[in-house]
Structure 1
Amino acid sequence: MDTPTMEVTALFPNQSSESCGGESSTENVIFGVYYILVFLLALNGNSLALWIFSRQRGISSPANVFLLHLAIADLSYIIILPLRATYHLTGGHWPFGEVPCRVAGFLFYVNMYASIYFLACVAGDRYLAVVHAVRSLKVRRPLYAHIASFSLWALVTVSMAPLLVSQQTSEVDGMTVCRQLYREKASRSALISLAVAFTPPFVATLSFYLFIIRSLRRGTRLEPALKLKALCTIGLVLFIYVVCFLPYHASRATYILAYSHPGISCQSRRRLMLANRLTSSLTCMNGALDPLVYLFGAEKFRGSLKKLFCRDKAGVSGATSGELKGTHESSLSAKSEF
C-alpha cells in the first residue's frame, strides 16, 4: 500500500483519470454486486463454522485448531466487504474517512496472509498425519497448534501494522479514494515483501500435498473412501490457492515491475490497475470457499452439520461420530482426519 504522493491527473496531465486509472460505471457496479454476494456467502458459512466450533467441548486435532483460526481470519475481513461494495456502488468514492480506509487495508492483508499460512499449517498437519502417523503423535497436539496459530497472528499483525499509521486516502478529481482500492504501491520493496510473504507458505503447501499424494499412491492403510476424501481436501485447498491467491500475487508482481516503466502507455497502466483490482477482489472469495475446507477437513464439523440438518437422524449420526472418534484415538487412525 502506498502513501499518496500525487494525483492521477498530475501523473498523466494529458489523460483523464477515467482513461488512466478510474473505474468505469460498469466496473463499479460489477465489483459492488460481487462484494455483496461474497459477503453474504462468506458470512453465513463462516458464522456457522465458528458457531459449530465454539459449541464443541474440545477440539480434538491440530487441523481443527487451524481451521478455527482460519474461520476467525475470514470473519475479520468479511466485515469490511460492505465498505468495499459501497465504495464501488457510489462511483469510486470513499465516504467513510481516513481511519476506516486504513482498517480496511489492514484487514485485507491480515486476512489474506493469515489464511495462506493457516492453510499451509493444515497441509503440514495432514502431511504428518498421513506420512508420519505414529512418529508425529507427540507433536500433533492441539496445544502446540494453538501456540503456532497465535504466533502466526502476531507475525502477520505486526507485519501489517504500518498500514494503520500511514495516510491511505487522497483526493482525485474531486472524489475521495481509498488507495488500497484505487492504486496500490508499485515500489520494488513491495515486490520483495510480496515474495517473502507468499512464496514460503505456497511452496510448503504444495510440497506437503505432493508428498501426501505420493504416499496415497504407494498405498496406505486408509480406506478408499478416506483416500477420496483426502484427495478432495487437497484439490480444494490447491483450488483456493490457484483461484484466490496466485492470480493476485502474479498480477501484483507484474503491476510493480511494469507500472513505473517510462515507456508504458496510459492505457497499459489502466489495464494493470484493473487487473490488480480484479485479482484483489478474487482474494476475498477464499472466505466463501473455506467452509468447504471445514467440511472435508474437520471431523467434528461434519458431525455437527449432520446433527443440525438431520435432527431426525441425530441418534444415528451421534453413534457414527462416536465410532469415528474412537477410531481416531488409535495411532493408525490419525490418517483419517480429513
Structure 2
Amino acid sequence: EKGHKCKLQEGYKHILLPITYNLVFLLGLVLNGAVIWLSCCRIKSWTCKAICLVNLAVADLFYVCSLPLLIASYAMRDRWPFGNIACKLVRFFFYTNLYGSILLLTCVSVHLFLCVMWMVVIELLPTFLYAHTATLGDCTVCYDLTNPRNFRNYFPYDTTLTVSGFLLPFVITLLILCDHT
C-alpha cells in the first residue's frame, strides 16, 4: 500500500545491548587481560598455541575497547555524542576484532589441517611391513602393497587407508565444491 511506512521496533536494544555489552566488557577485559599478562610474564618458550592464544586475546581486546562508547550510545537511544574520530576508532576496533579473529582462526585451521595430513601419512607406516621384494622365476619384484599370500591380512588395512586417505578427502572436496557453485 502506498504511503504505508513500516516502523521498526528496536526499543529492546536500548536495554538489552547495554546490559550484555557491560557483561562482555567486564569479562573480556579481565579474562583477555589476564591471558596477555600471564603470557607475557609466565611463558618461557612461545609455542604456536601460545602465540595464537595471545593474538586472539589481543584481537578480542580491540573489540572490548569499542564497547564503552557503544554501551553509552545504545543507552542514549542511538545518540553518538563522542565525535567523528571516536566513531571511526570504535568501528576500526570492532572490525579489527572481527577480521583479525577470522584470519587467525583460518590460520589455526590450516595448521590443524596440516597436522591431520601428517597423521594420515603416519598411518602409512605399516607399508614397511607389507611391501617387500620376492623372486618370481628368475626375476625379483617389488610388491607395491603386499604379496598375494598376505592379502587376507592386508585387506582391512588397505580398506581403512582407502577410506581415510582417498574416499573421505574426496567427499569433503566434492561437498566444498558443490557448496561454492
Give the shorter-chain TM-score range: 0.5 to 0.7
Q: Counterpart of 1:46? A: 32
1:101 offset after TM fit, Å? 0.5
1:131 offset after TM fit, Å? 3.0
Output aligned runs, 1:1-338, within 5 Å: 15=5, 19-20=7-8, 23-24=10-11, 26-55=12-41, 56-60=43-47, 62-132=48-118
1:14 offset after TM fit, Å? 6.8
Counterpart Cα distance in 2 of 1:88 and 1:108: 16
Residues 39, 54 of structure 2: 8 Å contact kept? yes
Give the counterpart letter for 1:102 in structure 2: K
Residues 32, 60 of structure 2: 8 Å contact kept? yes
1:15 offset after TM fit, Å? 4.5
Give the superposed CA RMSD: 2.8
Counterpart Cα distance in 2 of 1:31 and 1:71: 22
CA offsets 1:184-242 (integer angstroms, 9 cap, x no match): xxxxxxxxxxxxxxxxxxxxxxxxxxxxxxx9x96xxxxxxxxxxxxxxxxxxxxxxxx
Counterpart Cα distance in 2 of 1:119 and 1:27: 29
Counterpart Cα distance in 2 of 1:27 and 1:119: 29
1:68 offset after TM fit, Å? 1.5
Counterpart Cα distance in 2 of 1:31 and 1:127: 37
Residues 67, 118 of structure 1: 8 Å contact kept? no
Residues 63, 125 of structure 1: 8 Å contact kept? no
Counterpart Cα distance in 2 of 1:48 and 1:126: 26
CA offsets 1:130-189 (integer angstroms, 9 cap, x no match): 4326x9xxxxxxxxxxxxxxxxxxxxxxxxxxxxxxxxxxxxxxxxxxxxxxxxxxxxxx
Counterpart Cα distance in 1 of 2:102 and 2:85: 26
Counterpart Cα distance in 1 of 2:50 and 2:105: 11
Residues 66, 91 of structure 2: 8 Å contact kept? no
Gaps of 5+ in 2: 122-160, 165-181
Which structure has more relative contact order (CA 8 Å, sep 6+)? It is 1
Residues 65, 93 of structure 2: 8 Å contact kept? no
Q: Kindly tell me: are residues 130 and 63 of structure 1, through their superposed partners in 2, closer, same or farther at Cα, counting changes over 3 Å?
A: farther
Counterpart Cα distance in 2 of 1:51 and 1:86: 28
Q: Percent identity?
A: 31
- Taking structure 1 as the reference length, the TM-score comes to 0.33
1:27 offset after TM fit, Å? 2.3
1:29 offset after TM fit, Å? 0.8
Residues 23, 92 of structure 1: 8 Å contact kept? no
Q: Secondary structure at the match of 1:101?
A: helix
Q: What is the aligned residue count?
A: 121
1:59 offset after TM fit, Å? 0.4
CA offsets 1:6-47 (integer angstroms, 9 cap, x no match): xxxxxxx8759xx24x732x3211111111111111111111
- Taking structure 2 as the reference length, the TM-score comes to 0.58
Counterpart Cα distance in 1 of 2:68 and 2:82: 12
Q: Which has the larger radius of gyration?
A: 2
Q: Secondary structure at the match of 2:82?
A: coil
1:63 offset after TM fit, Å? 2.9
Counterpart Cα distance in 1 of 2:10 and 2:49: 41
Q: Kindly tell me: are residues 128 and 63 of structure 1, through their superposed partners in 2, closer, same or farther at Cα, counting changes over 3 Å?
A: farther
